[in-house]
Structure 1
């Protein structure tokens, strides 16, 4: 796809359809909040400071960086500073273009990033290189469901930061320069379900059809999905056709086994939180109460889904007397999944081989640009190698058709709210 061409017809016969990735990432430019917050809040609002790194660890699923004092020794990095939070940009935020053996946990500056991480013109070029037509992007500094602002002290400032991010997402990241190829994904003030519902409606009115949410809210000190606390938010999502998107790590706790487990342990079992979360939702009764609700799991892969569905059905049928769901889960879990839940993958040959047990209508494709796990710039080749046994219409469904339907895109795969469309 030429950078100046928004034609979205699938490749010619014998080729491969243009990909719609439902899990990429944006690294927010330095000015996102400073340009949008009221003057009185800018000093405490998110801003970039260049400073040395004193120490940084990632053990037991916990990321712990420490900023060095001005003038002290240490690698110089760009840091997001917000209230008492200091968070450096890291190579794991933007690893594409680097050999795998050179991708380490290290602090970096914007100048050390691939520009497509934070700049739309270069992002579109990188999408062209990767046979990607359109992309839905999760946040970086706000974290995967905006929990940075949920954990902050100043709720007034936090709400302004949420709204500022969403305004930037719609007006700039997905603005006219993106030509409909970027699909907006909103965040909400998770600390108040009423405010969250209002933010869903505010963004839905301008064409946003997806919102971030935590895979396991209690890990953030929030109510579980088994309570009624989230009902205003869920109702807003259902009534506006807004998909609830949950990314691995959106509970601020990556799966691990012990406090001293190396990152490789968590990286191997990243799907676990998605697995736990999906069982929560299947056994919550929410889909019987909100029959139009749709949820999706980003970066969790799909190979684990057939067993969980089979086991959930057995529990629902045989353990109803003591399982606590007989009066609220009125539909078989596997049927709930088929109607309401979507799994996403970028590299899962086992899951693709078991597609019949999952359902082709419930699977979406992703590239994870610009993260260390990303298949960029070979996402097409990976897809072809893993989907080669599938019929062309099924491949089309996985790599773009399901996304077009779920995210209410144009038939050509573009975001309808873009000024370009």
Structure 2
């Protein structure tokens, strides 16, 4: 096991070990007060410090009042929020669960004002760089960050991408799924162009938005929060159709999109339906291939949440039909209550897809190294 002296020294080992688990969804959280100084003016003073601070519950996870939808063992002893302690996350996620490289996806407070959301994205990027990706907290070289941007403000988003794209440990661009109009609109093309220019995938994490920016089904807002958990998959389906049928992947052939926490088993019938429409009406479309081919080349999904039927063999068949080895990335969703341990998840994958899903797709998607400094005592998943 790592000794106290080794951890204090914070010097990576010279011995390298192969990467066997890439976790594509982990949520770091600022400690109280850490983010404020990173918010650029005038938004720090005129907007965020002038707003009421409170706990608006928009997520009714089991036992929310007690654990805030987090794993109960992830609360630091100092009273801060789960995900706020890089050393604790390192111990639980890397040493004890066995993840080798972790993609950090912090939350950006979404507002009705795109400029304010952009200011918060800037602050989150500065904080992540200073307190997770710095030499002190990323001494083991396992953390990888996300360039958070406000997709509602394409000009500011491109500026943020250009600022951080050369960072050694920034591995993707992170946006939300709720903007209107949908992603196929040309107004977002500068963001896709910047992503392609720097070879960065664009990851979309489910969000809650604010007010009318919340995801709304065609029939209006649902009655309960748990309804929202299902509608996120429908939201992703709409964005995928827009990306394909509006020609985004034809305009940007190197663009790669990752849908995080939107589930994925629904993509199979959606591919069937899109391909059927293409077969019937392809002559009226500007796209050049079957929609399912665009999905398999350009789009990835994270494994959490993993929805499966009572008969696990049906899940195995679905994995094979949708060619899961091409489109899935392992994710844990740490430190949330829905955490999927890599040692548990790997057992639910078809043997032929395990290496691709657990690490090879992640290495390719995020342009990660195939080896990392060894950590004596770390759990090795497979």
Q: TM-score band (shorter)?
A: 0.7 to 0.9
Deviation at 1:152, TM superposition (A): 3.6
In 2 relative to 1, CA 250–286 (structure 1 residues): closer, same or farther, beyond 3 Å?
Answer: farther
CA distance in 2, matches of 1:227, 1:49: 32
For residues 98-128 of structure 1, give each alpha carbon's deviation from its aligned partner in whole angstroms, at most 9, with x where no partner exists. Answer: 69xxxxxxxx99955565x111111101112
In 2 relative to 1, CA 399–310 (structure 1 residues): closer, same or farther, beyond 3 Å?
Answer: same
Q: Higher relative contact order at CA 8 Å, sep ≥6: structure 1 or structure 2? A: 2
* Structure 2 unaligned residues grouped into runs of 5+: 309-313, 374-382
- How many residue pairs get aligned? The number is 348
CA distance in 2, matches of 1:362, 1:271: 16
What's 2:292 paired with? 334
What's 2:70 paired with? 95
Q: TM-score, normalised by structure 1?
A: 0.71
Residue 242 (structure 2) aligned to one of 280, 292, 299: 280
Greater strand share, structure number: 1
What's 2:378 paired with? none
What's 2:205 paired with? 247
What's 2:320 paired with? 356
Residue 91 (structure 2) aligned to one of 99, 113, 125: 125
Q: TM-score, normalised by structure 2?
A: 0.78
What's 1:380 paired with? 342
Any conservation in 2 of the 1:294–1:341 contact (CA below 8 Å)?
yes
Residue 198 (structure 1) aligned to one of 155, 159, 181: 159
* Structure 1 unaligned residues grouped into runs of 5+: 11-16, 64-88, 100-107, 415-421
Map residues 88-167 of structure 1 onto 2, 5 A cutoff: 95-97=70-72, 112=79, 115=82, 117-127=83-93, 128-140=95-107, 142-143=108-109, 147-148=110-111, 151-152=112-113, 155=115, 159-167=118-126
Any conservation in 2 of the 1:255–1:272 contact (CA below 8 Å)?
no
CA distance in 2, matches of 1:28, 1:401: 30
- RMSD between aligned residues: 3.5
Deviation at 1:94, TM superposition (A): 5.2
SS in 1 for 2:332: coil
Residue 128 (structure 2) aligned to one of 130, 147, 169: 169
Any conservation in 2 of the 1:96–1:114 contact (CA below 8 Å)?
no
Map residues 17-416 of structure 1 onto 2, 5 A cutoff: 18-37=20-39, 42-44=44-46, 46=48, 58=58, 95-97=70-72, 112=79, 115=82, 117-127=83-93, 128-140=95-107, 142-143=108-109, 147-148=110-111, 151-152=112-113, 155=115, 159-176=118-135, 177-178=137-138, 179-207=140-168, 208-218=170-180, 223-249=181-207, 252-254=213-215, 259=221, 261-320=223-282, 326-327=285-286, 329-346=287-304, 347-349=306-308, 352-359=316-323, 360-375=325-340, 379-387=341-349, 389-391=350-352, 394-412=353-371
In 2 relative to 1, CA 90–38 (structure 1 residues): closer, same or farther, beyond 3 Å?
Answer: farther
What's 2:376 paired with? none
In 2 relative to 1, CA 45–305 (structure 1 residues): closer, same or farther, beyond 3 Å?
Answer: same
Greater helix share, structure number: 2
